[in-house]
């Protein structure tokens, strides 16, 4: 089997939904779920364009699911042929993740005739607005079929509908196809979806063994330019029309070749090669599959966009950007495509105003970034994020209000970018302002305890969301300290050199920021080397994960919130103190890493796909190779296996897991290869799994691009 390929023949509802995620295709401008050609909204088909959101009434804002231009439905004797048809003989679908090509082969028995449909689809990596489909029908007997081809406007929505159709028109030049002119409901954003097919009839008469091939070209356009500004009143449909006609002219083969070339280019620096035996080959496959997903959703074609927590795979989590981008996804791009990594920062710069609005709304200064960020930076996270399984009532959660560590993740990311690329331009272009505004927020959020003569941070939620409204979360406090230290450092540099308006606005905060840096309470290791995740954490019930699980009365119960089964125990959702020890490992000796790993790991549900890689990296750093390999499997298999958590309370949280994919890269590069930058130099402390012979990857540091080859014995750095 092709090492760059996965396949599945599942046809159950569950399989269809999972394959929608697993066999997702994307080109960064848009994403298309891995459903079959005849799938409709009941199979959760999806065509998501990055950064386009809409709100229906007072429901959650979420990505707009665009009309599906690749819909083809065959029928025999009036009965549609689907994966649910009694006449289905066999079905297999595949994803080639070297090139993002989805294919399927399905056989039906039509009254004795064996009918085969084979199709291939890709979202062009060279022409970001274009989707292509080749659809081949063969029968072993003469047969006549019905066929419907259309832009399917009946789309799946979690909280829709999100658009109205303003006009349907011909695609032009006498071609067989159509253009749908639509407008979103909330912002009245115009968009167009066009399709051309080289087959026009609504019936097909097949001769035995003579295939009929249908090629479909589609184009998707919004009226946002690459800077996300609405364009002058140019008819969007005109773009769509021109574009889809050009595609049709270029033809399938050319488009496919260009598409593949673009992917080849991506893999030049984006690939990580793992050599070794069978196990290594599996690790390799899982890693490449992860990197494929990251590349499919990395924003392309428009500027200052980021990566939502479920990529472009679904409307899950409102299509919002979380800290996942900065702490889990960013590193891969930072070292392989820093220009893309920079877009993530540009996105935060662009949304700073939203973050300022949020801070002000809560009565704080500066900027408080959205926990769930959409195109304007206003928080898409609602006050009620979970539904109680017993009462069906919404449950007040505090993710939006209290997960203030989001700010620091952004600052950390900017500082990483500057440190690794040496590019300080981003600071002048808004990066500094982000840092200062984030710092101002923290300054107004820190409280001073006069009798203890120290600052504390109360009423927060750390990464472990099962424990809400805690005081002095170690991770949060440490990240706040980092933020304030960096803000002071940059402000003082700026003041000395060329004061910017941003640094000017921060000047008056410097003395207080310095005092907080000196006196902020950072929970330190106790006699056993253990750092309490937050105040009184060790006083809570210390019971096993199994005990907590056994208390569930309903498998869909939410574990956290005020009264969840985990809330008043030491059982945590995901890496929390361990994230801190990962980011700041230099500040702690290995005994502390060891102790906290041993304590927290059995108490962690790993109920978030963000957890495994963090534990895995500490497992590498502390020489726990066996554990590390398990965590690597976990983080790299979340999507390829499809075995991810599908529910949080009664809310569907399925989709792809870019953070776990980024975590796969981090585990290989940071973890097993022990890659780090110390004083602008690459350091390698490799600790490869037994089955691995060699890992090779690209790392750009400063202006240099390196090929890094790590073996069990040593490593080499080659300029690329």
Q: By C-beta, is 210 or 447 nearer to a second copy?
A: 447
φ and ψ at 13, to 5 degrees? -55, -45
Q: By C-beta, is 531 or 593 nearer to a second copy?
A: 531
Q: By C-beta, is 214 or 516 nearer to a second copy?
A: 516
SS3 478: helix
Our finding on whether 258 is near a second copy (CB under 8 A) is: no
Our finding on whether 469 is near a second copy (CB under 8 A) is: yes
Position among 183, 396, 454, 705 found at the interface with a second copy (CB under 8 A)? 396
Q: By C-beta, is 221 or 521 nearer to a second copy?
A: 521
The CB-side HSE value for 249 (13 A sphere, CA atoms) comes to 8
φ and ψ at 710, to 5 degrees? -115, 130
Q: H helices within 101-235, ranges in order?
A: none
Closest CA to 267 of 298, 291, 251: 291
Our finding on whether 390 is near a second copy (CB under 8 A) is: yes
Phi-psi region of 530 (alpha: psi -120 to 50; beta: other; left: phi over 0): beta
Q: H helices within 271-404, ranges in order?
A: 278-297, 324, 330-336, 338-350, 352-361, 399-402
φ and ψ at 285, to 5 degrees? -60, -45
Torsion of CA 278, 282, 285, 288, to 10 degrees: -110
Our finding on whether 203 is near a second copy (CB under 8 A) is: no
Our finding on whether 652 is near a second copy (CB under 8 A) is: no
Our finding on whether 444 is near a second copy (CB under 8 A) is: yes
Q: Is 573 annotated as a binding residue?
A: yes
Binding mask 102-141 for a second copy (x = CB under 8 A): ----------------------------------------
d(CA 521, CA 477): 7
Q: Which of residues 503-532 bind a second copy (CB under 8 A)?
A: 512, 515
Q: By C-beta, is 278 or 453 nearer to a second copy?
A: 453
d(CA 356, CA 439): 12
Smallest distance from the beta carbon of 381 to a second copy, in angstroms? Answer: 16
Our finding on whether 458 is near a second copy (CB under 8 A) is: yes
Position among 563, 590, 680, 683 found at the interface with a second copy (CB under 8 A)? 563
Q: By C-beta, is 281 or 396 nearer to a second copy?
A: 396
The answer to whether 313 touches 46, Cβ cutoff 8 Å, is yes
How many Cβ atoms from other residues are within 10 Å of residue 108's Cβ?
Answer: 25
d(CA 443, CA 365): 8
456 an active-site residue?
A: no
Position among 9, 567, 641, 644 found at the interface with a second copy (CB under 8 A)? 567
Q: Which of residues 362-381 bind a second copy (CB under 8 A)?
A: 363, 365
Our finding on whether 393 is near a second copy (CB under 8 A) is: yes
Q: Which of 465, 468, 605, 629 is catalytic?
A: 465
Q: By C-beta, is 1 or 553 nearer to a second copy?
A: 553
Could you tell me which residues are beta bridge partners of residue 53?
63
Q: DSSP per residue over 559-618, as a string?
A: S-TTT-TTTTBS-BSS-SHHHHHHHTGGGS-HHHHHHHHHHHGGGB---STTHHHHHHHH
Q: By C-beta, is 552 or 690 nearer to a second copy?
A: 552
Our finding on whether 360 is near a second copy (CB under 8 A) is: no
Closest CA to 34 of 5, 75, 64, 74: 5
Position among 59, 207, 568, 681 found at the interface with a second copy (CB under 8 A)? 568
Q: Is 574 annotated as a binding residue?
A: yes
Our finding on whether 1 is near a second copy (CB under 8 A) is: no
Position among 210, 273, 447, 718 found at the interface with a second copy (CB under 8 A)? 447
Position among 4, 199, 267, 448 found at the interface with a second copy (CB under 8 A)? 448
Q: How far apart, in Å, are the Cα atoms of 471 and each of 104, 430, 461, 573?
A: 53, 32, 8, 17
The answer to whether 262 touches 192, Cβ cutoff 8 Å, is no
Q: Which two tokens stand for residue 456?
A: 């504390």
Name the E strands within 3-46: 5-8, 25-26, 30-32
Q: By C-beta, is 289 or 506 nearer to a second copy?
A: 506
Of 65-73, 178-186, 450-458, 657-665, the window that binds a second copy (rule: CB under 8 A) is: 450-458
Count of residues near a second copy by CB under 8 A: 30
Our finding on whether 40 is near a second copy (CB under 8 A) is: no
Of 5-13, 393-401, 493-501, 601-609, the window that binds a second copy (rule: CB under 8 A) is: 393-401
d(CA 698, CA 689): 20
Query: Residues 201, 205, 211, CA angle at the centre, nearest 5°?
Result: 100
Of 159-167, 228-236, 441-449, 484-492, the window that binds a second copy (rule: CB under 8 A) is: 441-449
Position among 250, 283, 298, 446 found at the interface with a second copy (CB under 8 A)? 446
d(CA 522, CA 238): 59
Our finding on whether 58 is near a second copy (CB under 8 A) is: no
Q: Is 324 annotated as a binding residue?
A: yes
SS3 711: strand
Smallest distance from the beta carbon of 459 to a second copy, in angstroms? Answer: 6
- Binding site as annotated, residues: 323-324, 573-574
- Binding site as annotated, residues for substrate: 323-324, 573-574
Task: List interacting residues with a second copy (CB under 8 A).
Answer: 363, 365, 383, 388, 390-391, 393, 395-396, 443-444, 446-451, 456, 458-459, 469, 512, 515, 535, 553, 561-563, 567-568
- Residues marked active site are found at 465
């Amino acid at each position: 089997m092709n090492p760059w390929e996965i396949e599945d023949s599942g046809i159950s509802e569950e399989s269809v939904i999972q394959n929608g995620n697993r066999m997702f295709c994307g080109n960064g401008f848009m994403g298309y779920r891995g459903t079959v050609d005849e799938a409709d909204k009941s199979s959760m088909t999806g065509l998501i364009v990055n950064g386009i959101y809409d709100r229906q009434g007072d429901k959650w804002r979420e990505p707009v699911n665009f009309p599906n231009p690749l819909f083809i439905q065959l029928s025999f004797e009036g009965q549609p042929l689907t994966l649910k048809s009694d006449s289905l003989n066999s079905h297999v679908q595949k994803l080639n993740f070297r090139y993002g090509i989805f294919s399927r082969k399905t056989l039906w028995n039509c009254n004795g005739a064996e009918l085969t449909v084979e199709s291939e689809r890709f979202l062009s990596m060279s022409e970001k607005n274009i989707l292509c489909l080749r659809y081949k029908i063969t029968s072993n007997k003469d047969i006549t079929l019905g066929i419907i081809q259309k832009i399917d406007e009946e789309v799946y929505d979690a909280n829709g509908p999100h658009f109205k159709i303003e006009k349907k028109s011909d695609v032009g030049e006498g071609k067989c196809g159509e253009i749908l002119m639509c407008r979103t409901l909330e912002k009245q954003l115009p968009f167009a979806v066009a399709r051309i097919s080289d087959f026009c009839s609504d019936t097909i008469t097949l001769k035995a063994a003579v295939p009929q091939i249908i090629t479909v070209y589609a184009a998707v356009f919004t009226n946002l330019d690459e800077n996300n500004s609405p364009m002058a009143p140019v008819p969007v449909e005109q773009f769509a029309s021109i574009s889809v006609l050009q595609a049709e002219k270029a033809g399938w083969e050319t488009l496919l070749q260009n598409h593949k070339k673009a992917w080849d280019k991506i893999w030049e620096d984006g690939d990580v090669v793992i050599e070794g035996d069978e196990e290594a080959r599996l690790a390799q496959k899982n890693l490449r599959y992860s990197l494929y997903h990251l590349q499919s959703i990395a924003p392309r074609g428009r500027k200052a966009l980021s990566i939502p927590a479920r990529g472009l795979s679904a409307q899950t989590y409102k299509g919002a950007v979380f800290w996942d981008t900065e702490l889990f996804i960013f590193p891969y791009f930072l070292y392989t495509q820093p220009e893309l990594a920079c877009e993530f920062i540009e996105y935060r710069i662009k949304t700073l105003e939203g973050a300022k609005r949020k801070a002000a709304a809560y009565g704080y200064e500066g900027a408080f970034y959205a926990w769930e960020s959409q195109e304007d930076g206003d928080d898409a996270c609602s006050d009620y994020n979970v539904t109680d399984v017993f009462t069906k009532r919404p449950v007040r959660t505090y993710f939006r209000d209290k997960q203030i560590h989001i700010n620091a993740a952004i600052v950390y990311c900017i500082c990483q970018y500057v440190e690794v690329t040496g590019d300080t331009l981003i600071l002048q272009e808004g990066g500094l302002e982000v840092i200062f505004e984030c710092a101002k927020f923290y300054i107004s959020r820190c409280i001073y305890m006069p009798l203890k003569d120290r600052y504390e941070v109360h009423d927060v939620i750390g990464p472990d969301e099962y424990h809400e409204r805690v005081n002095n979360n170690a991770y949060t406090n440490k990240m706040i300290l980092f933020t304030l230290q960096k803000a002071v450092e940059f402000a003082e540099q700026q003041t000395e050199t060329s004061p910017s308006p941003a640094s000017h606005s921060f000047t008056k905060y410097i003395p207080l920021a310095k005092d907080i840096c000196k006196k902020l309470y950072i929970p330190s290791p106790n006699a056993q080397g253990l750092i309490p995740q937050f105040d009184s954490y060790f006083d809570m019930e210390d019971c096993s994960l199994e005990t907590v699980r056994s208390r569930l009365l309903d498998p869909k119960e939410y574990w956290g919130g005020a009264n969840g089964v985990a809330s008043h125990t030491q059982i945590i959702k995901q890496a929390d103190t361990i994230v801190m020890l990962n980011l700041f490992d230099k500040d702690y000796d290995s005994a502390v890493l060891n102790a906290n790993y041993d304590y927290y790991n059995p108490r962690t549900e790993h109920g978030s796909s963000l957890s495994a890689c963090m534990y895995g990296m500490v497992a590498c750093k502390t020489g726990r190779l066996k554990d590390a390999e398990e965590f690597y499997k976990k983080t790299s298999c979340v999507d390829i296996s499809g075995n991810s958590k599908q529910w949080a309370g009664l809310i569907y949280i399925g989709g792809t897991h870019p953070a776990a994919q980024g975590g796969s890269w981090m585990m290989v590069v940071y973890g097993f290869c022990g890659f780090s930058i110390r004083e602008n130099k690459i350091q390698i402390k490799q600790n490869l799994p037994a089955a691995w012979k060699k890992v090779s990857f690209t790392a750009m540091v400063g202006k240099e691009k390196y090929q890094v080859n790590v073996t069990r014995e040593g490593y080499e750095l080659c300029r690329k």
